[in-house]
Chain A
């Protein structure tokens, strides 16, 4: 029997894929309604795996809960260990007894500028994945920094943001989720009158990835972080999925992004990043000196 305060997570909420529109709907919808949450228990008993974005969502529910939340751990041993390893919970398991595996970013709540966080993540992953081509680790750290800065400085999120990630050594891919529970990208852009004409949330998300577009006015921002990230993905080096308000927009190598509707209204922004760690970057010629 499940009482009203219990959130039972289904068998495999991570079966989804942003590009194909199959998502952890139950987790995301629960997060979407975080402000009305009377949650007292999260039941993960049947869960066998959780992707970074599902973990970020569940963790944020814990952060905005009005009371401590009881967690029913997964019966699946690997999943249980995974949750402990990434710092989701201690679950009566001593982390020191677990085999060392540095393919995960331990869940972090960030409320101020990221400092060395992103650099540390990619330095660690570079070691774990047997190195990255020159410039890749710092380039990916730049992109992660920009997404985190957006969440912290522009979202007006009460929890700052939650960051969690995982590397996949066999494919050389990494996946990172950055989640805030703020005013959403459409809400941020519509603070400025020139963006009031944007009809849908998908339009607003796409607009936010154009160069120089920002809803900020009082703080220093130039609106290029998401544009640079989108351009990086267009070169075939990764994929960026943004869920904010009533839309999910996926930016990859294709000229046009893929748009999905999100039933309900996600009260925040989730940016899910997937990067290859083995691309070849080309630097523009003529960048030997700073040319004022």
Chain B
């Protein structure tokens, strides 16, 4: 299992979520499970959580994520933010870059 270091100072920008998702995606695409340690964070905005979680949910099967991405030491606020993103995804909400352009 590979440890991925989260570089962002604060988990509040979608760019940080995309960056983290890209690192996770690269690793599990190679068959390398990953561990993410959220110990130094006390919050994550919906923008960060959506960019991170929805990118992965869009690319991978749920079961593959469950068995290949381990999230450690996440405080309740971060767990809530990440779970809220999963819930939104399940209700059909997508990142703007994942949406099909509407017919004009």
Contacts and interface: CB of A to CB of B under 8 A. Distances in A.
A149 interface: yes
A131 to B, nearest CB: 15
B79 A221 contact: no
A292 B62 contact: yes
B53 to A, nearest CB: 9
Given A212-B88, A291-B83, A225 B46 contact: yes
Contacts of A284: 80
A194 interface: yes
Contacts of A212: 88, 92-94
B83 A222 contact: no
Count class of interface residues, chain A: 35 or more
A119 interface: yes
Given A145-B45, A146-B47, A222-B47, A217 B12 contact: no
B25 interface: no
B97 interface: yes
23 contacts: A113-B13, A113-B15, A114-B12, A141-B12, A192-B102, A193-B103, A211-B93, A212-B88, A212-B92, A218-B96, A219-B97, A220-B51, A221-B95, A221-B96, A222-B46, A222-B88, A222-B96, A224-B46, A224-B47, A288-B76, A290-B71, A290-B82, A292-B66
Interface in B1-45: 9-10, 12-15, 17-18, 42-45
Interface residues of B, number: 42
A118 interface: yes
A214 B86 contact: no
Interface of A: 113-116, 118-119, 135, 138-139, 141-142, 145-146, 149, 192-194, 211-212, 214, 216-225, 228, 283-284, 287-292
A289 B78 CA distance: 10
Contact of A211 (B69, B88, B99, B101): B88
Contact of B83 (A119, A135, A193, A290): A290
Contacts of B77: 135, 138-139
A119 B10 contact: yes
B42 A138 contact: yes
B62 to A, nearest CB: 6
A278 to B, nearest CB: 18
Contacts of B66: 292
B80 A220 contact: no
Given A115-B10, A138-B77, A292 B96 contact: no
Contacts of A214: 96
Interface in B54-83: 54, 62, 65-66, 69, 71, 74, 76-77, 79-80, 82-83
B24 to A, nearest CB: 12
B65 A228 contact: no
A138 B103 CA distance: 40
